[in-house]
Amino acid sequence: MRIVKASVLALSLAAAASALPAQTVVKHIQTDASPIATGVWAGDTLYLSGQLASPVTPADPAKGTPAVYGDTKTQAASVFAKIQKALQSQGLDMKDVVKMTVFMGPDPATGKLDFAGMQSEYVKFFGTPAQPNKPARSAFQVAALAAPWALLEIEVIAVRTK
Protein backbone atom coordinates (compact mmCIF):
# COMPACT_ATOMS: atom_id res chain seq x y z
CA MET A 1 0.00 0.00 0.00
CA ARG A 2 2.83 2.40 0.83
CA ILE A 3 4.46 1.68 -2.55
CA VAL A 4 1.20 2.46 -4.37
CA LYS A 5 0.75 5.73 -2.42
CA ALA A 6 4.38 6.70 -3.07
CA SER A 7 3.98 5.93 -6.78
CA VAL A 8 0.77 7.98 -7.00
CA LEU A 9 2.46 10.85 -5.16
CA ALA A 10 5.49 10.70 -7.47
CA LEU A 11 3.26 10.70 -10.57
CA SER A 12 1.23 13.60 -9.19
CA LEU A 13 4.37 15.64 -8.50
CA ALA A 14 5.75 14.87 -11.97
CA ALA A 15 2.49 15.94 -13.61
CA ALA A 16 2.37 19.16 -11.57
CA ALA A 17 5.99 19.99 -12.45
CA SER A 18 5.37 19.47 -16.16
CA ALA A 19 2.35 21.80 -16.00
CA LEU A 20 4.48 24.68 -14.67
CA PRO A 21 5.54 27.22 -17.30
CA ALA A 22 9.16 26.97 -18.41
CA GLN A 23 11.53 29.72 -17.30
CA THR A 24 11.69 32.41 -20.00
CA VAL A 25 15.22 32.96 -21.24
CA VAL A 26 16.16 36.62 -21.69
CA LYS A 27 19.12 37.60 -23.87
CA HIS A 28 20.27 41.19 -24.41
CA ILE A 29 21.87 42.09 -27.75
CA GLN A 30 24.20 44.89 -26.80
CA THR A 31 27.65 46.39 -27.07
CA ASP A 32 29.71 48.46 -24.67
CA ALA A 33 29.61 51.33 -27.20
CA SER A 34 25.85 51.88 -26.89
CA PRO A 35 23.86 52.94 -23.82
CA ILE A 36 20.91 50.75 -24.91
CA ALA A 37 20.47 47.23 -26.20
CA THR A 38 19.91 46.83 -29.94
CA GLY A 39 17.30 44.29 -29.02
CA VAL A 40 16.20 41.93 -26.30
CA TRP A 41 15.08 38.34 -26.69
CA ALA A 42 12.45 37.18 -24.19
CA GLY A 43 11.83 33.56 -25.05
CA ASP A 44 10.90 33.43 -28.75
CA THR A 45 10.07 37.16 -28.90
CA LEU A 46 12.57 39.78 -30.08
CA TYR A 47 12.02 43.39 -29.01
CA LEU A 48 14.06 45.49 -31.43
CA SER A 49 14.97 49.00 -30.27
CA GLY A 50 13.92 51.98 -32.35
CA GLN A 51 15.91 52.37 -35.54
CA LEU A 52 16.96 55.65 -37.14
CA ALA A 53 18.09 56.22 -40.72
CA SER A 54 21.68 55.98 -41.85
CA PRO A 55 23.05 59.01 -43.72
CA VAL A 56 22.63 59.15 -47.48
CA THR A 57 25.75 61.31 -47.61
CA PRO A 58 28.18 61.07 -44.68
CA ALA A 59 29.50 64.18 -42.96
CA ASP A 60 32.72 65.65 -44.35
CA PRO A 61 34.61 67.16 -41.41
CA ALA A 62 37.33 68.49 -43.73
CA LYS A 63 34.76 70.56 -45.63
CA GLY A 64 32.65 71.23 -42.54
CA THR A 65 29.53 69.72 -44.13
CA PRO A 66 27.00 67.78 -42.08
CA ALA A 67 25.62 64.38 -43.01
CA VAL A 68 22.52 64.34 -45.20
CA TYR A 69 19.71 61.96 -44.22
CA GLY A 70 17.06 62.83 -46.80
CA ASP A 71 13.32 63.26 -46.57
CA THR A 72 10.86 60.97 -44.78
CA LYS A 73 10.63 58.52 -47.69
CA THR A 74 14.42 58.25 -47.93
CA GLN A 75 14.78 57.81 -44.17
CA ALA A 76 11.99 55.20 -44.10
CA ALA A 77 13.76 53.17 -46.81
CA SER A 78 16.93 53.23 -44.72
CA VAL A 79 15.14 52.33 -41.50
CA PHE A 80 13.21 49.40 -43.00
CA ALA A 81 16.44 48.05 -44.54
CA LYS A 82 18.17 48.34 -41.13
CA ILE A 83 15.29 46.55 -39.42
CA GLN A 84 15.40 43.75 -41.98
CA LYS A 85 19.18 43.38 -41.54
CA ALA A 86 18.87 43.36 -37.73
CA LEU A 87 16.13 40.71 -37.89
CA GLN A 88 18.11 38.57 -40.31
CA SER A 89 21.14 38.72 -38.00
CA GLN A 90 18.92 37.03 -35.40
CA GLY A 91 17.50 34.40 -37.78
CA LEU A 92 14.27 36.29 -38.40
CA ASP A 93 12.80 38.32 -41.26
CA MET A 94 10.08 40.87 -41.87
CA LYS A 95 7.45 38.08 -41.98
CA ASP A 96 8.12 37.53 -38.27
CA VAL A 97 7.24 41.12 -37.25
CA VAL A 98 4.02 41.10 -35.22
CA LYS A 99 3.99 44.69 -33.91
CA MET A 100 5.47 47.93 -35.20
CA THR A 101 5.53 51.37 -33.63
CA VAL A 102 6.37 54.36 -35.81
CA PHE A 103 7.35 57.72 -34.32
CA MET A 104 7.32 60.57 -36.84
CA GLY A 105 8.33 64.19 -36.64
CA PRO A 106 7.51 67.00 -39.07
CA ASP A 107 9.83 67.56 -42.01
CA PRO A 108 11.60 70.91 -41.43
CA ALA A 109 11.37 71.64 -45.16
CA THR A 110 7.56 71.49 -45.14
CA GLY A 111 6.65 71.69 -41.46
CA LYS A 112 4.33 68.73 -42.03
CA LEU A 113 4.30 65.05 -41.23
CA ASP A 114 4.92 62.89 -44.31
CA PHE A 115 2.96 59.73 -43.47
CA ALA A 116 2.60 58.92 -47.18
CA GLY A 117 6.39 58.95 -47.57
CA MET A 118 6.76 56.40 -44.77
CA GLN A 119 3.85 54.31 -46.06
CA SER A 120 5.31 54.18 -49.60
CA GLU A 121 8.34 52.32 -48.19
CA TYR A 122 6.35 50.21 -45.69
CA VAL A 123 4.36 48.56 -48.49
CA LYS A 124 7.60 47.35 -50.09
CA PHE A 125 8.24 45.12 -47.04
CA PHE A 126 4.75 44.18 -45.79
CA GLY A 127 1.66 42.91 -47.58
CA THR A 128 3.51 42.01 -50.78
CA PRO A 129 3.01 38.83 -52.80
CA ALA A 130 6.43 37.64 -51.62
CA GLN A 131 5.79 38.64 -47.98
CA PRO A 132 2.03 38.92 -47.31
CA ASN A 133 2.24 39.27 -43.51
CA LYS A 134 1.34 42.66 -42.05
CA PRO A 135 2.10 43.56 -38.44
CA ALA A 136 -0.19 45.34 -36.04
CA ARG A 137 1.02 48.94 -36.21
CA SER A 138 0.74 52.21 -34.33
CA ALA A 139 2.03 55.53 -35.62
CA PHE A 140 2.52 58.66 -33.55
CA GLN A 141 3.39 62.21 -34.40
CA VAL A 142 6.04 63.53 -32.04
CA ALA A 143 7.43 67.03 -31.62
CA ALA A 144 10.99 65.81 -32.14
CA LEU A 145 13.16 62.71 -32.01
CA ALA A 146 16.46 62.20 -30.18
CA ALA A 147 18.53 62.95 -33.29
CA PRO A 148 17.81 66.47 -34.59
CA TRP A 149 17.90 65.30 -38.23
CA ALA A 150 15.59 62.29 -37.67
CA LEU A 151 12.15 62.39 -39.24
CA LEU A 152 11.11 58.95 -38.05
CA GLU A 153 12.09 56.14 -35.69
CA ILE A 154 10.63 52.65 -35.91
CA GLU A 155 10.67 49.85 -33.37
CA VAL A 156 9.37 46.33 -33.91
CA ILE A 157 8.51 43.17 -32.03
CA ALA A 158 9.12 39.92 -33.88
CA VAL A 159 8.34 36.34 -32.88
CA ARG A 160 10.23 33.22 -33.89
CA THR A 161 7.65 30.69 -35.03
CA LYS A 162 8.12 27.03 -34.34
Which pTM was predicted? 0.83
> To the nearest whole number, what is the mean pLDDT of the chain?
89
List the domains of the chain with CATH numbers. 23-159 (3.30.1330.40)
The CB-side HSE value for 98 (13 A sphere, CA atoms) comes to 9
Higher pLDDT, 78 or 22: 78
pLDDT per position as a tens digit, 29-79? 989 998 998 999 999 999 999 999 999 999 889 988 889 999 999 999 999
- Residue of 96, 95, 83 whose CA lies nearest to 44: 96
pLDDT confidence band for 85 (50 / 70 / 90): very high
* Per-residue confidence (pLDDT) for residue 47, from 0 to 100: 98
